[in-house]
Structure 1
Amino acid sequence: MLAGCIPWPDEAAERYRSRGLWRGESLGGLLRTAAERHGPAPALVHGGRRISYAQLDRWVDRLAGGFAGHGLRAGERVVVQLPNVPEFVATCFALFRLGAKPVFALTAHRSREIAYLCDITGAAAYVFPGRHRGFDHPALAREIRAGTHGLRLLFALGDAGDDLIDLSTVDGEAGRLPEQDASDVAFFLLSGGTTAIPKIIPRTHDDYAYQCRATADLIGFTAADVYLAVLPLEFNFTWGCPGVIGTLLSGGTVVLADDPTTDDCFATIERCRVTVTSLVPTLAQLWLEATEWNTRDLSSLRLVQLGGARPARSLVERIGPAFGCELQQVFGMAEGLLTLTRQGDPPETVLGTTGTPLSEEDEIRIVGEDERDLPGGEVGELLVRGPYTLRGYYRAAEHNTRAFTADGFYRTGDLARLTANGDLVIEGRIKDVVIRGGNKTSAAELEEHLLTLPGILRAAVVGLPDELLGERIGAFLVTAGTRPSRHELNQGLQQRGLAEYKFPDQVEFVDELPVTPLGKIDKKALASMTSRDRPSTAHEEGEHGDQFQGNHGPAGRAGATRDDREVDREPARGRPA
């Protein structure tokens, strides 16, 4: 096991192996096996590109050889920040075969997040796009390299420049690739967490291969299935629930969507005869609205997975009838646990719960504040351990003592209950995060940044109810002197390198922040306050009113506004997946 990672106890690991859950298969080897079985069949489709299993397998080998030729070695970490393109899939599988460890980064991440990922993982390489959605990623890469010790290789997809390595030129004879220990780390996902910086989640070949295989089996994936990857590939939901890897294990076809707009996706569903896709509630809502004027043939869809945030019941009830397909509710986290509804479940189970755990080896507890197990039906904190749930974050010893019980249960921070039939119902969360459109923002992180801006004395960030997003990011500010405008606030946060999806949706200026009897900021009181109670600058003209119409709006036009991109980063933990 890679240094800084915590393995499963020997007794648990042996049990998972003896029961056939962990099979000693590396992710790179699984693609090889799939290519041998399905060689000429299409593995990846992206626009006009069609890549067969055999072609993908050869490409992965050549990429692995090329990375090795540039000096990349087994065990080294590589930050991968690419959009939904075939190069993402090929790069990750090439790194799997080489034994290097991909660290997934979202395309919306900027200097703060990328610098942190490179530093905490000791990354030797960084793979990124060229100019993507108006942002100059090569310039960011040069900035990161200048300030990061040990980062020596920069691979750009697109116009690289003389000082960067063009990913399209990375090619070489693979030679004898090292054998991979399936119990070792394959790659790293990110946790949304509640702290100012994300926690790093190690996923092994064994545990992730099991997760992908089990979810693919559960929904009956076959070689006839076509999976549309709408959400970012860096999401656990899209990558392996069963997602891309589960599709490839089954011999199916993965179709990569550049944009989640209904115009593009509905046309792709019709053209490629898509059978399965995964959506967050925000996107599902916009797709549902678009069905009112849709003329595309969506009849090939057999299953829509819904996860990423707790959806409104009214939304859940509309999906099956609108698309003429089965709905599957999914709750999960990049740290591990997945619960899913099953085909044949009663309607109330599908509409009102997130189903039962993926594995018979998943151990779930619902506990009170004293960490004693609660009777069935009562709401408490969800604790979990199992064959694909981590035993510790990467290089986070102090945090791990708080995040895990002494006997290895992960404290999820989610409030939940179990129905009489054993189905999980998520009731809320303990941790201080805002889940906006299925994506998490740490309140503490945003508060820290806001307090550095001129004139801001105190700041509190809370989640405010939002019919479309589930929650929007509300910032309550106490200021001295002239109140900053929304433009000034956003400009200040941008200059600090904060990803735009973390910017406040609503800003309220107050004289004081309410506190609890213990002297802590009373965020429940803030959340209950409305703009009608006092003057507010939450909706300054021209800055907020139509932000959501771009990328996902009813007209389906391509855009790059801040609210359009909530599917451009992962709900890494706590809401699937």
Structure 2
Amino acid sequence: MSQTPPDWQSLCPFWPAATAQGYRAAGIWQAETFFDVLDGLVAAHGDRLAVIDGARRLGYAELRNRALALAHGLRVLGLRRGDRVIVQLPNCAEFVELCFALFRLGVVPVLALPAHRDLEIGQFAAFSEAKACFIPATVEGFDMVAMARRVQKATASMRHVIVLGEGFEALYQPDGPADWEGPVAEDVACFQISGGTTGIPKLIPRRHMEYIYNVRCAAKVSGFTQATRYLCALPMSHNFPMACPGFLGALMSGGCVVIAPNPSPDTCFALIAEHGVTVTALVPPLAVLWLETAREPLSLELLQVGGAKINPATARRIGPELGCRLQQVLGMAEGLICYTRLDDPEQRIIHTQGRPMSEYDEVRVVRSDGVEAAPGETGELQTRGPYTIRGYFNRPDVDADAFTADGFYRSGDIVSRDSDGYLTVEGRDKDQINCGGEKIGVDEVEDLLLYHPSVVDAAVVARPDDRMGERACAIVIPRDPRPSALSLRRHLRDAGLAGFKIPDEVIFVDAFPQTGVGKVNKRQLREMLQRQHFGGDVPA
């Protein structure tokens, strides 16, 4: 079976020709794919330990051989270069093997989270025209197979539902031919999912040549070496634990990846002690939980914290109480990553989110009046560079707003920048809630609430939270008979909304404050709620 691979250049905006040529000439982009990189790692490291997952141990050569065998099996199923598939696996060695198998085939994974449910997975599958999905049988008691079958029934393109542990091993075919055409460096390697995606998804196309540069640069800034033992505690499909530098960075440095099934302190502390873990990555709420649980310093050398801004008071505790250095990370799946440097003074590490990792990153901070901000002034973070995308997958409607005419990505992050280029996050310009590093697009939740027969109008806003940073709060104008908060949350769950998006609180009001043009004034609404329901002042 043969098919013409997709024209990625038309589906996903590419860099201008002169810019791309400059990146190639500088050696930033190289003519290699992730599987080419794995071949090189095998040549350099052979049987050196690459992955630890429970009792399983994979050397570099075995990882490569198993990934190639899995690629053979997936090809027998009919998957070809340019096809899209949904990957929704938990943290496990099979996730690593599957990624490299897909990289070899040129099949593009849409990297979903285990927490996503019918609504999100259905949207991802339909929009990407996914031909298969890879899932575990259950996640925390939820029947993933039943969900996948529902999505398959509604998605004309989806031919296969592949369940981890149910004949999955039979897909590995070590004796198949390997003479098929694979991807090229400019092909899309994977789709990350934009935080706060609502309705039609915003899929982030990460191409082999730029994502490889992303990983290598991140690993260098983070000090990864062959001695690195990286604990993958966060969901592996996230950009942060995957490529910033993540498990890919550990492997590309010749190090070892230790896989944690969950990020709980009990689980991770035991793995850190057993395997001599040197570095891991957390979001701020988990860092707080680890601090509250630790009874003595860990053997960690470095803790990376990102996904949301960490409170300086919490940041200051990490060194003394966990016994390791802190590295703050400000990144986005669309590209730009900023790090505090390992040799930065403590005050800079505590109070800033770092500076861009590459000398080729272009960053500007733009005030609301369109003027570039002076040092210390706040404005929107805008960026372009060799690993920041120039547009989403097949979304020219979104690209028009998300990117400037000269190719800068408008992040929506409000930041200030000091004279040395270090950034401090001050807030968000976009209507999103950052709950423990997970971005929630409020439009999606509001729209679903409006489908409830007892809801006249609804608004979803963030309320400050010491542990999670922000939590979602739904403010509802009800009609009689007034619904209960429980019934509204059940309504959202039944609609297939991921659990982390369901508001923790529901507050009923008679009317919303409005702007001069009749829109809900979210700022006044937050201030009103802070005074009347939560107490105190709302942060600016």
**Is this a same-fold pair by TM over 0.5?**
yes
- Are the aligned partners of 2:309 and 2:353 in contact in 1 as well (CA < 8 Å)? no
The equivalent of 1:452 in structure 2 is: 451
- Equivalent position to 2:223, from 217, 220, 235: 220
Q: Does 1:371 align with 2:370?
A: yes
Aligned residue type for 2:298: L
Q: Among 66, 77, 91, which residue is 2:73 paired with?
A: 66
Aligned length in residues: 526
Q: Shift of residue 534 of structure 1?
A: 6.1
- 8 Å contact from structure 1 (residues 433, 442) kept in 2: yes
Q: Which residue of 2 aligns with 1:298?
A: 298
Question: Shift in Å at residue 181 of structure 1?
Answer: 1.1
Aligned-partner Cα distance in 2 for 1:211–1:400: 22
Task: Using the TM superposition, give the Cα deviation of residue 240 of structure 1 relative to its aligned residue in structure 2, in angstroms.
Answer: 0.4
Specify the alignment match of 1:185 in structure 2. 188
Q: Unpaired runs of 5+ in structure 1?
A: 160-165, 537-577
1:467 paired residue number? 466
Q: What's the CA shift for 1:530?
A: 3.9
User: 1:483-498 to 2 correspondence within 5 Å?
Assistant: 483-498=482-497
- Name the counterpart of 2:266: 263
d(CA) in 2 for partners of 1:322, 1:298? 9
Q: What one-letter code is carried by the residue in structure 2 that aligns with 1:178?
A: E
CA distance in structure 1 between the partners assigned to 2:183 and 2:394 by the alignment: 22
- Any conservation in 2 of the 1:433–1:440 contact (CA below 8 Å)? yes
Whole-angstrom distance in 2 between the partners of 1:509 and 1:334: 36
Which residue identity is paired with 2:383?
V
Tell me if 1:273 matches 2:243: no
Amino acid in the other structure paired with 1:459: A
Task: Please tell me whether the aligned partners of residues 123 and 199 of structure 2 are also in contact (alpha carbons under 8 angstroms).
Answer: no
1:155-194 matches, within 5 Å, as 155-159=162-166, 166-172=167-173, 173-193=176-196
TM-superposed deviation, 1:119: 1.0
SS of residue paired to 1:336: coil
SS in 1 for 2:336: strand
Counterpart for residue 557 of structure 1: none
Change (3 A) 1:403 1:535: closer
Structure 1 residue identity aligned to 2:229: V
Match of 1:99 among 91, 103, 106: 106
Alignment-mate amino acid for residue 412 of structure 2: G
Structure 1 stretch 50-59 or stretch 513-522: which is displaced more?
513-522
Separation of aligned partners in 2, 1:490 and 1:158: 33
The aligned counterpart of 2:152 is 145
Instruction: Work out whether 1:28 is the aligned partner of 2:35.
Output: yes
* Counterparts in 2 of 1:174 and 1:57: CA distance versus 1, 3 Å: farther
**Structure 1 residue 12 and structure 2 residue 19: aligned?**
yes
Deviation digits for residues 53-85 of structure 1, max 9, x if unmatched? 111111001000000111111111111110001
Q: Distance in 1 between matches of 2:496 and 2:197?
A: 19
Structure 1 counterpart of 2:138, one-letter code:
R
Question: Cα distance, 1:395 vs. partner?
Answer: 0.8
Partner residue in 2 for 1:313: 312
> How big is each residue's C-alpha offset from its partner over 1:486-523, in whole Å with a ceiling of 9 and x where there is no partner?
32112111111111111001111111111122322111
Q: How far did 1:194 drift?
A: 6.0
Asked if 1:380 corresponds to 2:383, the answer is no
How far is 1:334 from its partner? 0.2
Counterpart in the other structure of 1:230:
233
Conserved? CA contact 1:365–1:384, under 8 Å: yes
Amino acid at match of 2:501: K
Q: Give the letter for the 1:15 counterpart.
A: G
Structure 2 counterpart of 1:142, one-letter code:
R
Q: What is the CA distance between 1:192 and its match in structure 2?
A: 1.1
Question: Following TM superposition, by how much is the alpha carbon of 1:396 offset from its aligned partner in structure 2, in angstroms?
Answer: 0.4
Matched with 1:87 is: 94
Deviation at 1:123, TM superposition (A): 1.0
Cα distance, 1:421 vs structure 2? 1.5
Question: Quick one: which amino acid aligns to residue 333 of structure 1?
Answer: M
Residues 314-333 of structure 1 show CA distances to partners (whole Å, capped at 9, x for unaligned) of 11111111111111000000
Distance 1:174 1:314, change over 3 A: farther
Residue in 2 that maps onto 1:136: 143
TM norm structure 1 = 0.89
- Residue deviations 1:376-434 (CA, integer Å, cap 9, x gap): 22111111000000000001011111111111111111111111221111111110001
Query: Does the 8 Å contact 1:64/1:174 carry over to 2?
Result: no
> Hey, what's the Cα distance between the residues in 2 that align with 1:8 and 1:276?
34
| Mapped contact 1:458–1:478 kept (Cα < 8 A) | yes
% identity of equivalent residues: 45
TM-superposed CA distance for 1:234, in Å, is 0.9
Counterparts of 1:534 and 1:308 in 2: how far apart (Å)? 28
Confirm or deny: 8 A CA contact 2:250 2:256 kept in the other structure. yes
Q: How far off its partner does 1:233 sit?
A: 0.6
Structure 1 Cα separation of the partners of residues 520 and 363 of structure 2: 32
CA contact (8 A) 2:81 2:182 kept: no
Partner of 1:413: 412
TM-score, normalised by the number of residues in structure 2: 0.95
User: 1:282 and 2:285 equivalent?
Assistant: yes
Contact 1:382 1:416 in 2 (8 A): yes
Q: Which stretch shows the higher mean deviation, 27-36 or 329-338?
A: 27-36
SS in structure 1 at match of 2:497: coil
Tell me, yes or no, if the aligned pair for 1:66 and 1:174 is still in contact at 8 Å.
no
Which letter maps to 2:172? D
The answer on whether the counterparts of 2:485 and 2:505 sit within 8 Å (CA) in structure 1 is no
- Of residues 203-212 and 147-156 in structure 1, the stretch that sits farther from structure 2 once superposed is 147-156
SS where residue 471 of structure 1 aligns? strand
Q: Which letter maps to 2:16? A: P
The one-letter amino acid paired with 1:264 is T
Shift of 1:47: 1.0
Structure 2: distance between partners of 1:379 and 1:416: 5
Q: Structure 1 stretch 520-529 or stretch 253-262: which is displaced more?
A: 520-529
Residue 38 of structure 1: aligned partner: 45
- Structure 1 residue 125, shift from structure 2 partner: 1.3
